[in-house]
């Protein structure tokens, strides 16, 4: 019998598919890496299992990056497995190659990235020739069982997916060409003077960075101006009301900061105030009704923006929460969407969703759902239901499944989506807006009042939102106005000029940066117009969060509160790209055009060949510009440092590569300079000032060795006798030099706690925390203690409060920024005092995924305990022993000698298999060998590779593998 292989993107989705198909296709049998019944084999990837690479003959590895080997534009791409998921790839390929598997179903996420994940696996499985098995596409908008079954009833054909597949491959290859060639070309340019200055660029990440840099440049260049407003209080028979002076003849001109209510001199403002003070005013007013419709339904970008503004969630966090609500809780529809409308045939589903919400027991939401049903609000509307605005996915809305067991953050996001979904069906909010002009000839004062008549959709958001009126805080809008009788003259009770300053544009937050990416940098406030522009945006809703995170990881940007601030490294990159005239990587609107062309390709309106030819031409031009640039420096807007030259006291100025002394006024430069980016880490201007002032700075993170390894160090400026000048050096904090020289140390900081070895005070000293008796002091010139612990360990800063905690309690909190020297992966651990070793060591938190053998042992122990309490005739110990003997295999009770390979991991003592598994897990945790993305997979180091016979193994394989290494078991 032939079978169909279903490949999902993640194991959790594979399980959902099996649960949904079981009632209609029969029960599935579970295997280690797949599920199977008479009709289907269901397996899954874990995200990307395969990535593209240049064929060996066209590629050049790191260490040989130079212009001689660029550009790299291979005629085709090879595939390579992602190292950490090789075993999963092999398992999926094995199922794809089965002779009884005659066709495939692509059940990866419904989007460009999901299409690419499947296509690369299929290509890899085929090897040198196509796999040749027909493919259908499962396209899921919701993860409820019924939605999955409906998806299987409406599978899409290979032809229907051809455009999306072409766009997916083209996006991947374009990013590779621009990223690899751009990064290598800019790295080669920046490393000309020696060292390895990694300079990453990307087709989408670099134009995004340019938006942030351009905004920061405007802020830095902004010169604040003083202006004045004139605020008055008028008295009518019915009471008082506020007003603000304005010029009714004012028209918008070239001065972007001019406004009708601003005057630019204190004297003019005072003159207006003096002219009207104590006088009577005539009043005219106009009242008119106005309405405000609810915002559109959420797509991913608008949801990320709203969640960032309301809760401070990063774009990455919002995507992860939405994905969890979609996959795990089945509570939201597919989140990675760029659509803000629903299909025109979705009205019945919308009604059913309101019915679910009304009956859900969610007290804060159910009453509004009931109101909508009772008042027949759920009706056809082109603003909500519009096929022309739905591509492959529709807007994010709640599913028919009421969630339970949500985390606090998940609940917040779910509520946000549900309220927006309900609001869009509710009537518009209705206001009465009154504009009152009070005139003391020739001066006019304006007052605006806005009264909510019917809350409409605002009722869903509560009283606070309904009362909140834009501008109400300014004192000239939003208030309920006291009435003025027709023809009544009012008195000017108080009038005061108010001095203010113009403000620079605000820095980007993630919310505003996502909006700028969506519109390719164009300032578009209108929601409908922005929706029309988004096809030409930077990246896609699914990738924008990752782009922002990538720029933060590469230290091109920093988060400070909710603000995003570009670093010196970002300014240096933009200076370089502008100087080289590589416009494509600087201008967001140009890169937005590439994204638009990819969306055209998805619709079959543009050929893959034409797009890739443009990308190749862009790549060649970018490399050529960098290669042929022949001037000594790059033109740019450079800083002058406040601190003087340490050698001659002259002025130190920045250029593209260095901070250099330009001499005192009228004198020649003394030759002092230092590189702006030693070991690939760029100095901020404030850091360079501090370095000159104090002759040292640090320890600083983010340096890279010539081989690309990250490291941390202090930087010092020392006098060089041979050069007769100062030069910059790394200082790795080897405090032994000071100890050996006998130089007396004086501690200026407060003690952190008692030394765990001798009980003396522990202080900061250089790049370490040390016992006061571990260095020469006036009280004890000869050190007698050995306690010392670094202030930065494997790139994890150890703050003073953490060291205090370690000295008080024996260990720090769980720290999460350690970076393994072997794997370069992040890991979490406590730092703890190891009394036996006499030093600070790692202590790892218990795994969330305990090994199955251990769990089995606990079950046996539980059964033993139960038997011993119920056995009346036999003593408790004998009953327990008999039960253990019955439950446990006899061989496991006796120890067996481990093989040489296994002995290298757990020791050479004879051991039973459960004990061997336990020791193996201790080794795995101590060396952080669980795959961070799939804790059930163990990534082998050299010792484990000898035991496993392969690069990785599943958690449940361990017992079987170890049996082969225990005395012939």
Catalytic residues: 334
Nearest to 425 by CA among 296, 330, 289, 249: 296
DSSP state of 423: H
The residues near 292 (Cβ < 8 Å, ≥ 6 apart) are 428, 429, 431, 456
- Rounded Cα gap, residues 9 and 110, in angstroms: 10
Nearest to 407 by CA among 334, 354, 302, 329: 329
Backbone angles phi, psi at 11, to 5 degrees: -55, -35
- Rounded Cα gap, residues 897 and 909, in angstroms: 6
What are the angstrom distances between the C-alpha of 412 and each of 416, 509, 919?
A: 6, 20, 43
Backbone angles phi, psi at 358, to 5 degrees: -65, -30
Q: Residue 535 in contact with residue 596, Cβ under 8 Å?
A: yes
Helix (H) or strand (E) holding 440: strand 429-440
- Rounded Cα gap, residues 16 and 146, in angstroms: 11
Q: Assign 42 to helix, strand or coil.
A: strand
The residues near 284 (Cβ < 8 Å, ≥ 6 apart) are 436, 437, 439
The radius of gyration of the chain from alpha carbons, rounded to an integer in Å, stands at 34
- Rounded Cα gap, residues 783 and 777, in angstroms: 8
- Rounded Cα gap, residues 562 and 208, in angstroms: 17
Q: Assign 626 to helix, strand or coil.
A: helix
Return the ∠ at Cα 679 (arms to 673 and 683), rounded to 5°.
55
Backbone angles phi, psi at 515, to 5 degrees: -65, -40
Contacts 24+ apart (CB under 8 A), 219-224: 219/504, 219/505, 219/507, 222/504, 222/505, 224/501, 224/502, 224/503, 224/504
- Rounded Cα gap, residues 851 and 917, in angstroms: 8
DSSP state of 577: H
- Rounded Cα gap, residues 147 and 16, in angstroms: 11
Q: Residue 385 in contact with residue 378, Cβ under 8 Å?
A: no
Q: Residue 114 in contact with residue 108, Cβ under 8 Å?
A: yes
Burial class (CB in 10 A: 0-12, 13-18, 19+), 581: exposed
Contacts 24+ apart (CB under 8 A), 21-29: 21/148, 21/149, 21/152, 24/149
Going by DSSP bridges, is the β-strand pair 658-663/651-654 parallel, antiparallel, or unpaired?
A: antiparallel
Q: Assign 341 to helix, strand or coil.
A: coil
Backbone angles phi, psi at 136, to 5 degrees: -120, 160
Q: Residue 799 in contact with residue 787, Cβ under 8 Å?
A: no
Q: Residue 493 in contact with residue 240, Cβ under 8 Å?
A: yes
- The DSSP code sequence of 475-491 is TSSSPPPPP--TT--EE
Going by DSSP bridges, is the β-strand pair 753-754/78-81 parallel, antiparallel, or unpaired?
A: unpaired
The residues near 628 (Cβ < 8 Å, ≥ 6 apart) are none
């Amino acid at each position: 019998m032939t079978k169909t292989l279903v490949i999902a993107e993640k194991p959790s989705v594979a399980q959902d598919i099996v649960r949904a198909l079981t009632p209609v296709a029969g029960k599935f049998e579970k295997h280690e890496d797949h599920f199977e019944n008479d009709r289907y084999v269901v397996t899954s990837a874990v995200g990307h299992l395969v990535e593209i690479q240049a064929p060996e003959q066209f590629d050049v590895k790191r260490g040989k990056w130079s212009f001689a080997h660029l550009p790299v534009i291979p005629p085709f791409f090879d595939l390579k497995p992602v190292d950490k998921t090789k075993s999963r790839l092999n398992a999926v390929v094995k199922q794809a190659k089965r002779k009884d598997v005659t066709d495939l179903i692509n059940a990866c996420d419904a989007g460009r990235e999901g299409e690419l994940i499947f296509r690369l696996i299929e290509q890899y499985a085929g090897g040198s020739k196509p796999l040749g098995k027909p493919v259908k596409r499962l396209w899921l908008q919701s993860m409820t069982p019924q939605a999955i079954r409906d998806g299987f009833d409406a599978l899409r054909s290979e032809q229907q997916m051809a455009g999306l597949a072409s766009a997916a491959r083209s996006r991947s290859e374009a990013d590779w060409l621009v990223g690899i060639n751009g990064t290598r070309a800019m790295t080669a340019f920046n490393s000309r003077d020696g060292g390895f200055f990694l300079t990453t660029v990307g087709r989408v990440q670099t134009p995004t960075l340019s938006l942030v840099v351009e905004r920061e440049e405007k802020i830095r260049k902004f010169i604040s101006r003083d202006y004045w407003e004139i605020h008055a209080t008028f008295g009518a028979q019915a009471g008082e009301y506020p007003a603000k002076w304005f010029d009714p003849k004012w028209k918008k001109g070239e001065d972007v900061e001019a406004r009708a209510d601003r005057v630019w001199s204190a004297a003019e403002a005072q003159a207006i105030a003096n002219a009207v003070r104590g006088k009577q005013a005539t009043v005219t007013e106009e009242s008119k009704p106005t309405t405000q419709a609810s915002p559109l339904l959420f797509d991913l970008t608008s949801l990320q923006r709203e969640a960032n503004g309301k809760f401070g969630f990063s774009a990455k966090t919002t995507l992860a929460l939405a994905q969890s609500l979609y996959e795990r809780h089945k509570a939201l529809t597919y989140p990675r969407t760029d659509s803000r409308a629903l299909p025109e045939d979705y009205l019945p589903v919308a009604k059913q969703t309101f019915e679910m919400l009304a009956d859900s027991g969610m007290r804060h939401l159910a009453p509004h759902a009931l109101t909508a049903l009772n008042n027949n609000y759920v009706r056809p509307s082109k603003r909500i239901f519009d096929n022309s605005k739905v591509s492959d996915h529709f807007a994010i809305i709640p599913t028919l499944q009421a969630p339970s067991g949500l985390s606090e953050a998940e609940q917040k996001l779910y509520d946000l989506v549900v309220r927006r979904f309900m609001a869009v069906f509710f009537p518009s909010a209705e206001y009465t807006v009154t504009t009152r002009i009070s005139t003391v000839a020739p001066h006019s004062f304006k007052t605006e009042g806005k009264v909510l008549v019917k809350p409409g959709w605002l009722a869903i958001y509560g009283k606070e939102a309904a009362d909140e009126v834009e501008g109400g805080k300014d004192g000239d809008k939003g208030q309920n106005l006291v009435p003025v009788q027709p023809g009544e003259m009012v008195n000017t009770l108080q009038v005061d000029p108010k001095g203010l300053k113009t403000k620079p544009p605000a820095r980007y937050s993630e919310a505003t940066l996502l909006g700028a990416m969506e519109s390719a940098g164009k300032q578009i406030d209108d929601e409908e117009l922005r929706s029309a522009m988004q096809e030409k945006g930077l990246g896609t809703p699914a990738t924008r969060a990752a782009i922002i995170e990538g720029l933060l990881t590469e230290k091109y940007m920093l988060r400070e509160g909710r603000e995003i601030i570009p670093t010196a490294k970002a300014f240096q990159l933009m200076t370089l790209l502008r100087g080289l005239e590589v416009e494509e990587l600087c201008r967001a609107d140009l890169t937005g055009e590439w994204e638009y062309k990819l969306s055209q390709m998805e619709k079959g309106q543009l050929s893959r060949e034409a797009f890739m030819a443009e990308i190749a031409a862009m790549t060649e031009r970018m490399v050529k510009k960098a290669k042929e640039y022949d001037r000594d420096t790059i033109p740019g807007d450079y800083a002058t440092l406040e601190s003087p030259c340490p050698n001659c006291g002259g002025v130190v100025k920045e250029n593209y590569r260095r901070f250099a002394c330009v001499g005192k006024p009228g004198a020649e430069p003394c030759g002092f300079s230092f590189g702006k980016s030693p070991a690939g880490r760029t100095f901020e201007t404030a850091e360079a000032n501090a370095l000159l002032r104090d002759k040292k700075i640090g320890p600083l993170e983010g340096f890279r060795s010539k081989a690309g390894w990250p490291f941390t160090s202090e930087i010092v400026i020392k006098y060089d006798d041979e050069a007769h000048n100062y030069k910059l050096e790394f200082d790795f904090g080897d405090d032994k030099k000071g100890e050996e020289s006998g130089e007396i140390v004086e501690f200026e900081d407060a003690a952190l706690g008692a030394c765990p070895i001798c009980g003396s005070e522990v202080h900061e000293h250089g790049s370490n925390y040390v016992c006061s008796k571990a260095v020469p002091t006036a009280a004890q010139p000869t050190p007698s203690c050995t306690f010392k612990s670094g202030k930065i360990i494997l790139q994890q800063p150890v703050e003073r409060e953490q060291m205090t905690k370690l000295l008080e309690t024996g260990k720090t909190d769980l720290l999460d920024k350690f970076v393994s020297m072997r794997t370069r992966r992040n890991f979490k651990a406590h730092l703890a005092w190891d009394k036996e070793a006499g030093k600070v060591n790692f202590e790892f938190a218990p795994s969330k995924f305990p090994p199955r053998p251990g769990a089995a042992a606990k079950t046996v122990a539980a059964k033993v305990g139960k038997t011993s309490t119920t056995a009346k005739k036999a003593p408790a110990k004998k009953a327990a022993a008999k039960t253990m003997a019955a439950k446990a295999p006899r061989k496991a009770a006796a120890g067996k000698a481990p093989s040489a390979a296994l002995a290298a991991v757990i020791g050479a003592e004879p051991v039973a298999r459960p004990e061997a598994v336990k020791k193996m897990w201790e080794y795995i945790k101590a060396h952080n060998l669980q795959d961070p993305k799939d804790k059930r997979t163990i990534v082998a180091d050299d010792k484990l590779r000898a035991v496993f016979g392969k690069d990785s193994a599943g958690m449940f394989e361990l017992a079987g593998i170890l049996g082969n290494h225990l005395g012939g078991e």
